[in-house]
Structure 1
């Protein structure tokens, strides 16, 4: 699969619109291609930031009338000073959708402010966490034995991967998968809790907690982000980020993040 093909259809990949077989081919290419990883991170974060920004900004109604009047004046001035060779470009009034799009970009940039690069990265990584869980991609290694998972990730990630352990006996490790979060190699650990899925991503990135909210549960510091009405809880330890997402209610996700034993 070529970089050109992957980058052309990154939007469908981010939106989860690819069929499972194509999805897997995309992931394999992205795992091995840093350039496409950067395009993926930008695509996901740009979509998320644009949705959030546009939802908060509304142009005043009189702006459109003023804009159209001014564009008509420009057309009239051009007509009066036109040379004998007649050129008929698209009239500004008829091109108002294009102008509207440009105005929207200027409004968003001027009123809301464009996010910094680290904000883009953080937003993209959070969306990766949610997408991975939602798509329920298959495990590369299956089973409840943590040792098998540890061995599988040796040489694949620049950090040792040790599955988190939980106080709740009903939380069971069922598999793991190598992925990328943004452009960073990561371990996706799959758990089951009373029949409900939990995804834990382990990776190196201090940016994931940028602008995150913070609380303490059971004496432990837990960061969290709200992503599209869902919550992603995060623990940090030893330079690693542990991001939790699952088919659980908010209190349970906070409790699992706080109780997870990530150092042993």
Structure 2
């Protein structure tokens, strides 16, 4: 891994957002690169200073007094005649709070887990695309012939993806490679449009995780579509108009 590549991945590594493979590659480079070690140390120092100098506020006296008054009023004795009704009402309200709170807590954790999974999915896609951009070659098999690229995946991934060439429409096939998204080996088709590289990650299962569809990160977009019974995630820095053309070609290909 070169310094040029680590500079673009350094913020992701520092925040713990790289996948396992990219993190290992980054750390191998870090062991031998003084410049990158100093960059990491600088980020750590900045984070420590921000945390130690964080602005903190004390509660105003008026708020303290209001809370104290409410606590004192709640601790006053309850009239004997209304004790049973009061405690029954309190018990019912506590039960409602417990049930609603428990349900909300469960929904919150479920939602948080889904968001984390979605974010990791997107990070894996972007990290793979960025690695390809700075690599010596963005493909493992170089060919504009789909009949050469498709058989190359046989035995290397669980399924050989559908391969089409859109050179006539301005999106020529460059070749293919294998990436890891999570712990899954994913066949990746590579296209080019002008100076823009387009990665098409092909999956056998629906991409229910890819809810980042339509978002852009540092200028790079992720789009998803079906590809002749398979499911594809596309990553590129093309503008939305050109990307839309490519997505229509990809979705309509036989």
Aligned partners of 1:211, 1:174: CA distance in 2, in Å? 28
Aligned partners of 1:173, 1:202: CA distance in 2, in Å? 15
Return the offset for 1:168.
Answer: 4.5
Distance change in 2, residues 1:208/1:167 (3 Å): farther
SS of the residue aligned with 1:256? helix
1:152 has 2:152 as partner: yes
Structure 2 counterpart of 1:83:
none
Q: Which has the higher strand share?
A: 1
SS of the residue aligned with 2:191? strand
Return the offset for 1:239.
Answer: 4.7
Question: How do 1:123-202 and structure 2 match up within 5 A?
Answer: 123-135=119-131, 136=133, 137=135, 138=137, 139-166=139-166, 168-202=168-202
C-alpha contact (below 8 Å) 2:160/2:187 kept by paired residues: no
Structure 1 counterpart of 2:93:
none
Distance change in 2, residues 1:204/1:117 (3 Å): farther
Larger RCO: 1 or 2 (CA < 8 Å, sep 6+): 1
Aligned partners of 2:187, 2:116: CA distance in 1, in Å? 21
Distance change in 2, residues 1:193/1:238 (3 Å): closer
Q: Which sections of structure 1, spanning at least 5 residues, go unmatched?
A: 1-9, 27-60, 71-108, 213-223
SS of the residue aligned with 1:225? coil
Return the offset for 1:256.
Answer: 0.6
C-alpha contact (below 8 Å) 2:210/2:224 kept by paired residues: no
SS of the residue aligned with 2:172? strand
**Counterpart selection for 2:238 from 248, 255, 259:** 248
For residues 215-263 of structure 1, give each alpha carbon's deviation from its aligned partner in whole angstroms, at most 9, with x where no partner exists: xxxxxxxxx3314264311112455221122231012112211112575
Structure 1 counterpart of 2:247:
257
Distance change in 2, residues 1:226/1:182 (3 Å): same
Distance change in 2, residues 1:118/1:164 (3 Å): farther
**Counterpart selection for 1:11 from 10, 13, 17:** 13
C-alpha contact (below 8 Å) 1:235/1:257 kept by paired residues: yes
Aligned partners of 1:159, 1:193: CA distance in 2, in Å? 26
Q: Which has the higher helix share?
A: 2
Return the offset for 1:177.
Answer: 0.9
Question: How do 1:219-234 and structure 2 match up within 5 A?
Answer: 224-228=213-217, 230-234=220-224
Give the structure with higher Rg (CA).
2
Distance change in 2, residues 1:237/1:172 (3 Å): closer
C-alpha contact (below 8 Å) 2:179/2:188 kept by paired residues: yes
